C-alpha cells in the first residue's frame, strides 16, 4: 500500500450511505407504536393472567357489594325468601283446588288457613306435651344431678362434699357477677323475638300475594329487562324456581323421616318429651348437616339427663342409624335427582351462610346455591334457544304475554 492510498478517504459502500434529504424538506415523523404491537411484546401467559385477574377481581367486588347490600336489607329479604319457599310448597294444594273449579282467591284462602291450622295444631300438641312432661323431666334432672354428685365423690376423682359445694358456689358467684350480661342478652332475645314476629307477619302477607299473583309478578319483572334478555332470564328463573321447590319438598320429606325415626326411637326407649324432640329434629333437619348434629346431640343429652348413660348410648345409636340412613340412602337417591350439589359444596355453603347471616344464612344457603347452579347451567348451555314458548308457559310465573315494549 502506498502513502497515497493511506491518505485516500475511506468511503462506505453505496448501500451504507444515507440518502440526503433535499434542502428545506421536513423530515418524516416517526411511526407511532400501536397498542397491538405493545401487547404482542408481552408474553401470552401474562396477558391471559392479567385478563382473568381483573375480571375475577371485578366479580369478587360486585359479589361483595351485593352481599353487603343484602345484609343491610335482611329484615326484608328473609321474609321474602320464607314466603317463596312456602309458596313453592303450597302451590300444589292451590292448583289442586283450582282444578276442582274453586275460585283463585278462595283457593288461596283455603290453602293459607289450612296451613296455619296445621302449624297451630302441631304447636298446641307440642305445648301440651311440654307442659305435662316438664315436671317429670325436672325431677329426673335433679335425680341425675344427684347421681353426678355421687359419682364425683365415689368415683375416680374422690372429691369431698366441701369441694363440690365450693365448685357450686363458684358457679353461682360467676352467674351473679355476669348478671348484667345475662340481662342484656335476655333483652336482646326479646328484641329478636319481636323482629321474628314482625317478619313472620310480613312473610305471611307476601305469601298470600305470591300464591294469588305469582305469575303476573314474575311476568312484570321479566318485561322490565331488554327484549333480548327476556327469554334467557325467563328460562333461568323457571329452572331456578323448580330447583328450589324440589329441594324444599324433598328436604321436608327427609326431615319428616328423621323426625319420625328419632322421635319413635326416643319413645320406645322411654326418653321423655319424645314428641317435642321429634318436632325439634324436623325443624333442625332443614339446616343440612349442622342441624342433624345439633338436634341429635340434644336427643342424646335428654336421654342422659332423664335415664342415665346406658339409655344415652342407645339413643346415640338410634341417632347415628337414622342419620346414616339419610346420608347413604335418602340423600343420594332422592336429593341427588332434585339438585345436583356435591356434599362439599353444601358444607361450604352452610358454613358461609351461617358466618354471613347466622341461622337464616345457614337455612337458605343451600336453596340459593341450588337456584344459582340450575340458572347458571341453563344460561351457559343457552337452553332457551331450543325451547318453545308454550313449553315455558307451562311453568307458573312464566305465562307468555304479548310484548308491547
Please give the pLDDT value at position 63: 83
State pLDDT tens for residues 266-315: 899 888 888 888 888 888 887 766 777 888 888 888 888 777 788 889 99
In this structure, the number of other CB atoms found within 10 A of the CB of residue 346 comes to: 19
pLDDT given for residue 400 in this prediction: 45
Higher pLDDT, 387 or 57: 57
Report whether pLDDT(223) > 80. Answer: yes
Q: What is the pLDDT of residues 130-169, one digit of tens each?
A: 777 667 667 766 777 777 777 777 767 677 777 777 777 7
Q: How confident is the model at residue 249 (pLDDT cuts 50, 70, 90)?
A: confident
pLDDT interval class at 329 (50, 70, 90): confident
Pick from 312, 284, 282: nearest CA to 299 = 312
Share of the chain above pLDDT 70, in %: 75
pLDDT at 238 > cutoff 60: yes
Q: What is the mean pLDDT of residues 256-262?
A: 89
pLDDT digits (tens, 9 = 90+) for 159-201: 777 777 777 777 777 766 766 665 555 555 555 667 778 888 8
Residue 101 grid cell = 273449579
Determine the average pLDDT of the residues in 39-48. 76
Q: What is the mean pLDDT of the chain?
A: 77
Q: Which one of 87-91, 136-140, 326-330 scores highest in mean pLDDT?
A: 87-91
Question: In this predicted structure, what is the pLDDT of residue 108?
Answer: 92
Using the predicted structure, report yes or no on whether residue 11 has a pLDDT greater than 60. Answer: no
Q: Which of 85-94, 100-109, 340-349, 382-391 has the lowest mean pLDDT?
A: 382-391
Reported confidence tier of residue 25, pLDDT bands at 50, 70, 90: low
Residue 390: what pLDDT? 46
Which pLDDT does position 45 carry in this prediction?
A: 80
Task: Give the lowest-confidence range in 15-24, 115-124, 240-249.
Answer: 15-24
Amino acid at each position: 500500500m502506498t502513502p497515497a492510498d493511506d491518505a485516500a478517504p475511506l468511503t462506505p459502500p453505496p448501500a451504507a450511505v444515507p440518502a440526503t434529504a433535499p434542502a428545506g424538506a421536513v423530515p418524516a415523523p416517526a411511526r407511532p407504536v400501536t397498542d397491538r404491537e405493545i401487547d404482542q411484546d408481552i408474553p401470552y401467559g401474562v396477558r391471559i393472567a392479567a385478563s382473568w385477574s381483573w375480571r375475577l377481581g371485578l366479580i369478587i367486588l360486585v359479589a361483595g357489594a351485593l352481599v353487603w347490600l343484602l345484609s343491610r336489607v335482611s329484615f326484608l329479604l328473609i321474609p321474602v325468601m320464607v314466603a317463596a319457599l312456602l309458596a313453592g310448597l303450597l302451590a300444589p294444594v292451590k292448583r289442586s283446588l283450582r282444578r276442582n273449579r274453586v275460585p283463585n282467591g278462595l283457593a288461596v284462602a283455603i290453602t293459607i288457613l289450612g296451613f296455619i291450622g296445621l302449624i297451630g295444631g302441631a304447636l298446641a300438641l307440642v305445648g301440651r306435651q311440654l307442659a305435662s312432661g316438664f315436671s317429670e323431666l325436672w325431677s329426673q334432672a335433679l335425680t341425675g344431678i344427684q347421681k353426678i354428685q355421687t359419682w364425683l365423690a365415689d368415683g375416680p376423682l374422690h372429691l369431698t362434699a366441701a369441694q363440690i359445694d365450693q365448685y357450686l358456689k363458684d358457679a353461682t358467684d360467676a352467674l351473679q357477677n355476669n348478671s348484667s350480661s345475662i340481662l342484656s342478652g335476655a333483652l336482646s332475645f326479646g328484641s329478636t323475638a319481636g323482629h321474628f314476629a314482625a317478619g313472620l307477619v310480613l312473610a305471611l302477607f307476601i305469601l298470600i300475594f305470591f300464591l294469588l299473583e305469582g305469575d303476573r309478578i314474575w311476568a312484570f319483572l321479566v318485561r322490565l329487562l331488554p327484549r333480548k334478555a327476556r327469554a334467557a332470564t325467563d328460562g333461568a328463573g323457571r329452572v331456578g324456581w323448580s330447583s328450589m321447590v324440589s329441594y324444599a319438598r324433598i328436604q321436608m320429606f327427609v326431615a319428616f323421616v328423621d323426625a319420625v325415626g328419632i322421635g319413635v326411637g326416643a319413645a320406645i326407649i322411654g326418653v321423655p318429651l319424645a314428641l317435642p324432640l321429634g318436632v325439634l329434629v324436623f325443624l333442625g333437619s332443614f339446616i343440612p348437616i349442622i342441624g342433624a348434629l345439633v338436634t341429635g346431640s340434644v336427643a342424646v343429652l335428654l336421654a342422659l339427663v332423664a335415664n342415665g348413660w346406658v339409655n344415652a348410648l342407645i339413643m346415640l345409636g338410634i341417632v347415628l342409624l337414622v342419620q346414616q340412613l339419610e346420608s347413604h340412602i335418602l340423600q343420594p337417591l332422592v336429593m341427588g335427582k332434585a339438585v345436583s350439589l356435591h356434599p362439599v359444596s353444601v358444607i361450604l355453603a352452610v358454613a358461609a351462610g351461617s358466618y354471613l347471616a347466622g341461622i337464616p344464612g345457614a337455612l337458605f344457603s343451600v336453596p340459593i346455591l341450588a337456584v344459582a347452579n340450575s340458572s347458571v347451567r341453563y344460561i351457559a348451555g343457552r337452553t332457551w334457544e331450543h325451547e318453545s314458548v308454550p313449553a315455558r308457559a307451562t311453568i307458573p310465573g312464566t305465562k307468555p304475554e304479548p310484548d308491547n315494549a
